[in-house]
Structure 1
Amino acid sequence: MRSLALVMSHANRSMGGATRELHFCAALRGLGVDARIWRMHPGAETEREEMLGVPLSFCPVDAPEAVPHHLLSAALRDEIAAFAPDAVLYKGLSYRINAFVQAARPAGARYGLIVGGAVTDPLVEGAAAILGEYREQLARHFRPALQDGRAMVLPKYIDLALAGDGVPPKRAEFDIVNVGTFAEKRKNQAALLPFAAHRRLAFVGGGPLLADAQRAVRMAGHAANVTFFRRLPHAEVFAVLRRARVMVHSSLGDGLPRATIEAMACGLPVVALRDTIEGGIPPTAGLLVSEDGLPHAVELLLADDGLRVQMGRAARKHVERHHGPAAIAAAAEQALALLSR
C-alpha cells in the first residue's frame, strides 16, 4: 500500500478529538505511505492545513441542515476519487458519507473501518481491516473479522506528560470524577447524583442537560459537594482528573471513551458499566459492574485506600504499555500489513 485516505466521518472543522488519527497517519507516512485526512465541515469552501506532517482537507457539506449521520459532501467524494488511494479508512460507522465515498471508487477498492462500541455499518462485511477499541469488543460485535484475521486494536492517544507521574493521590479534592457531555440521557450522569449526599463529585462536560443536573443537585441540598466544570480545554481535564480518587463512567451506551484511559493514566481506577464497556479496562485497574452494582463498587474503592492505590498504579502501567504514540506507531505497521494483503 502506497497511499491511504482517512475519512473522519463526523463533520467538524476541528481535529481536536482526532489526535490519535493524526499520529496514526503520521506513523504511516514515516513508513512511506502517502496518508492524508479528509473531513466534512459546515463552511462554504474547502480548507486545507497540515498537522504532524499530515495533509488535511476540510470539505463543505452539501446540505448542512441534515442530521449529522446523513451529511454528505460531493467535494470530499470527488477529491478522494481524484487522489485514487490504494485504501480508504473510514472513522465512524453508520455515517452515509462512508458508502457515498466508497461507491465512487472502483469496484472492489480496498477499505477499512475504525469502529467504536457496537455500532455497525453496511461496509463492515467487505472491510479489509477493522480497527477496534479492545479485543472483547471485536470478539462480540465484529467476530467474523476477528476470526478472519482482519481485526486489530487501535490504541488511544494519551499524553503522559499531561497525565503527570500517575501516582494515585492519597488525598484528593474530589472522591468521584466523571467526564462526558450532558447532551443525552444515555450518558447517565444522574446515576451519580445520589453520591453527592456524602461524597465530593466533579463533572467535566457541558450540554443542554447540564442545567437539569445542576437543578437536581441544588434541590437535594448537595450543591456544596458537587463541582460542575462544564467543558474544559483538554489540558485542564487532566488537571481535574489528578485531583480525584476514582473515575466513574456511568454511560449506558458508549464505546471506550478516551477520558477513561486518561483517568487511568493519571492513576485513577475506573468503575464502568459492563453492559457499556466489555473490556479494555483490566480487572487489576478497574471494575466493570452491573448498573445495580455500581454504588457498591464505587464505595468499595473509596473505603479501601490500599486497594484504590494498588489499582491506580496498575491502571497507569496498563496505559504505558498499551496506549500512546509508541503503541499507535506499532498499530500503524499492523494496519499497513492488513490493508496490503
Structure 2
Amino acid sequence: MLPRQLRRQGLAGRRGGARPVPGRRPPARSHALRAVRRARARRLRAGRAGQGGLSRGAARAAAERPAAAEGGRMSRRFLLSCFACDPDAGSEPYVGWHWAKTVYAGERRIVLTRRHHEAALAGRRCRGLSFRYFDLPFLSGLDHRHRLMKLYYILWQICVLPYAAWIVWRERVTHVHHLTYNAVDFPGLLWAIPGTRFLWGPVGGGQTPPEALRAYYGAGWRRQRWRAAMKAALRINPLVRGALARADLVLAANAETERRLAPLTRPGKVRRMLETAVLPAAIAPGPRAAHRPLRVLWVGRFEPRKAPGMLIQIARTLGVRAPGAFAFTMIGGGEMLAEARARAADVPGLEIRGEIPFAEMRAAYAGADVLAFTSLQDTSGNVVLEALAAGLPVVALDHQGSAEILPAGGGRLIPVAPPVRVIVGFMAALQALAEPETYAAASRAALANIRAHHGWDARAAAFRALLDAKVAPLDQGDHRPRLPRRGKRGVADQPPAAKSARAMP
C-alpha cells in the first residue's frame, strides 16, 4: 500500500518517472515545477544565443562583468605579473606599480607580485585593483638590487606558475600580462596558462654595450660577450619562442629589442612602446635658468655598465680647462662606489654623495642644471625622463633608451665612439649648455618633450588603443581549451550541450 502522504497527493511513486493516480488531478506543485523548468530552458537558450554559444557559467560571468566605458567594449579581467612593484622605489618597481595603477586604470586587474612589496602596497588601494603575494620561504627579504636577484627571479617565475594558474581559474581571468622584470631572455612561464590571452612587455634587454667603449668594463667585458651571445640565440630559446607564439601583443621598449623579436613572430605583433613615463604632477611648471657654475648631476648605480669613470674623467678635464665653471654631483650606490670615491678625491668641484632615498630625488633634480647620462647599456633610463620632467637638459650617448627619448628635444646626443672622442663630445655639449640662451631653449624643449610624449596618461592612452586594436575579446571566437571553472555548488561547469539537456523538462 502506498504511503498516505503520496496517496493524498495522487502520486504513484516518489522519484522520477512517477505517474498520477487515475482519477486524481495532478497537484498544482508539479505544474509550477514544470513552468519553472520551461522558463529556465528558455533563458538558457536565449543566453546561449546572445553570448555566442557560451556555457551557462560563462554567460553568467559575462553578464556580471561591467561593460567598458568606451564603445561597448566587452569587459576583461587581467592578471598582471609584476615581480617588482613598489610605489616608493625607482627603476623596475616604479614601472610595475604605475602600469598596474595608471595604465590599467578602469580595468579589473589582479597584481601578482612578491611578498617583499606587501608593506609598501598595503595602503595603495584603487578601484578594480587587488594584489596577490608570493615569495619563496626565507627569501622574501631580498631587495631588488641584490646581486642574486636575477637568479631568484627565474626561480620565482617557475614556482609561481601553479599559483598563477589557480588565480586564473578562481578569478575567471581573461588576460595575463607579464610586466616586470622586462628581460628579453626570460619572459617567465605564465604564457603557458591555457584559456587566456597573453601580453608581454614592454620588454627590453635586447641591447648590448658598444664595442668601442669596452674599456669601461675592464675584466667584466668577457661576461658581456657571453650575454651578447645569449641574446643572439633568442631564436632557439624555447621560452622566448613559446611566449611569442602565445602572445597576442608584444611591446618592445627600444629599437634593439624590437629588431631581435620582430623576425621571430608574425608581422605586426611586436610594437614599440617605452616602459616608463612620469606623472603629470612631477613635471615642472616652467623652464629653468642656468646657474654659474653649471651644476651637472649624475644618477645611477656605480657599476661598469653605467660608466661612472667616464664622468670622473669629464670632471677632471673640465676642472683643468675651465676652472670653477662646472660643479659635478654623483648620486647612487653599488659595487664601484668606494673605487669611484678614491679616484675622485683629487678632482676639484666633484662631489660623490652615495645612495639617497627615492623620495629625495626630486630635490636633487631641483638643485641641478644638467643631467649627464653616461650609461653604456640601458633599456630606457628612468633618470632621463625624471630629469626632463624637472626641466633639466640631458647629455647622453646616442643609442638605446636615450635615442628613443631625446630626439624629440631637451638633450644632446653624443655619437658612440672610442672613449676620448666621447669625452670630448660630452665636454663640448656641457660647455654649450653653459650659455644662458642655449640652456633656456633646451629646458623649454625638455618640458615640451615630456608633456607631449612621456606622461603616464599618454602612455596609458597609447596602450589601450593597441590593446583594443590588437587583442580581440576572449569571449569571441576563442576555441582554446579552458581550465574547469566552478559553478554555484563548486562543481565544474559542464559543456553547453550537456547542460541544455539537463535543463530541459
Give the TM-score normalised by the residue count of structure 2: 0.58
Which amino acid in 2 is paired with 1:298? F
Higher normalized strand content (fraction of residues): 1
Residue by residue over 1:129-184, the C-alpha shift from the partner in whole angstroms, topping out at 9 and shown as x without a partner, is 222335x45653443479415414146331344443352332166532111111x3
- Note the C-alpha offset of 1:79: 3.1
Which amino acid in 2 is paired with 1:132? A
* SS in structure 1 at match of 2:122: strand
Does residue 196 (structure 1) correspond to residue 315 (structure 2)? The answer is yes
Does residue 40 (structure 1) correspond to residue 124 (structure 2)? The answer is no
Q: Contact 2:372–2:394 at 8 Å: present in 1 too?
A: yes
Aligned to 2:262: 143
Residue by residue over 1:13-57, the C-alpha shift from the partner in whole angstroms, topping out at 9 and shown as x without a partner, is 7763334443433356543x32121123469x9997362513222
Cα distance, 1:330–1:151 mapped onto 2, change above 3 Å: same
Q: Contact 2:373–2:396 at 8 Å: present in 1 too?
A: yes
Which amino acid in 2 is paired with 1:282? P
Identity of aligned residues (%): 21
C-alpha distance in 2 between matches for 1:231 and 1:47:
20
* SS in structure 2 at match of 1:151: strand
C-alpha distance in 2 between matches for 1:21 and 1:257:
15
C-alpha distance in 2 between matches for 1:36 and 1:93:
21
Q: Equivalences for 1:280-295 in 2 at 5 Å?
A: 280-282=405-407, 284-289=409-414, 290-292=416-418, 293-295=421-423
Q: Contact 1:263–1:270 at 8 Å: present in 2 too?
A: yes
- Note the C-alpha offset of 1:296: 3.0
C-alpha distance in 2 between matches for 1:146 and 1:307:
46
Cα distance, 1:177–1:160 mapped onto 2, change above 3 Å: farther
Aligned to 1:93: 183
- Note the C-alpha offset of 1:217: 0.7
C-alpha distance in 1 between matches for 2:349 and 2:443:
23
Answer with 1 or 2: which has the greater Rg. Answer: 2
Which is further off, 225-234 or 186-195?
225-234
Aligned to 2:223: none
Which amino acid in 2 is paired with 1:158? V
* SS in structure 2 at match of 1:167: coil
* SS in structure 1 at match of 2:385: helix
Q: Contact 1:63–1:71 at 8 Å: present in 2 too?
A: no
* SS in structure 2 at match of 1:247: strand
Does residue 336 (structure 1) correspond to residue 467 (structure 2)? The answer is yes
- Note the C-alpha offset of 1:196: 2.3
Cα distance, 1:14–1:215 mapped onto 2, change above 3 Å: same
Does residue 256 (structure 1) correspond to residue 411 (structure 2)? The answer is no
Cα distance, 1:258–1:151 mapped onto 2, change above 3 Å: same
Q: Contact 1:116–1:255 at 8 Å: present in 2 too?
A: yes
- Note the C-alpha offset of 1:99: 3.5
- Note the C-alpha offset of 1:320: 0.8
Cα distance, 1:37–1:203 mapped onto 2, change above 3 Å: same
- Note the C-alpha offset of 1:2: 0.9
Aligned to 2:487: none
C-alpha distance in 2 between matches for 1:107 and 1:298:
52
Does residue 111 (structure 1) correspond to residue 203 (structure 2)? The answer is no
Structure 2 residue aligned with 1:298, among 426, 431, 439?
426
* SS in structure 2 at match of 1:309: helix
Q: Contact 1:41–1:59 at 8 Å: present in 2 too?
A: yes
Aligned to 2:49: none
* SS in structure 1 at match of 2:364: helix
Does residue 320 (structure 1) correspond to residue 451 (structure 2)? The answer is yes
Aligned to 2:287: 167
Which amino acid in 1 is paired with 2:407? P
Which amino acid in 1 is paired with 2:364? V
Does residue 279 (structure 1) correspond to residue 396 (structure 2)? The answer is no
Structure 1 residue aligned with 2:297, among 152, 156, 177?
177
Q: Contact 2:178–2:190 at 8 Å: present in 1 too?
A: no
Does residue 267 (structure 1) correspond to residue 391 (structure 2)? The answer is yes
Higher normalized helix content (fraction of residues): 2
Aligned to 1:49: 122
Which amino acid in 1 is paired with 2:97? L
Residue by residue over 1:99-154, the C-alpha shift from the partner in whole angstroms, topping out at 9 and shown as x without a partner, is 43333x117752322212416673352222222335x4565344347941541414
- Note the C-alpha offset of 1:87: 1.8
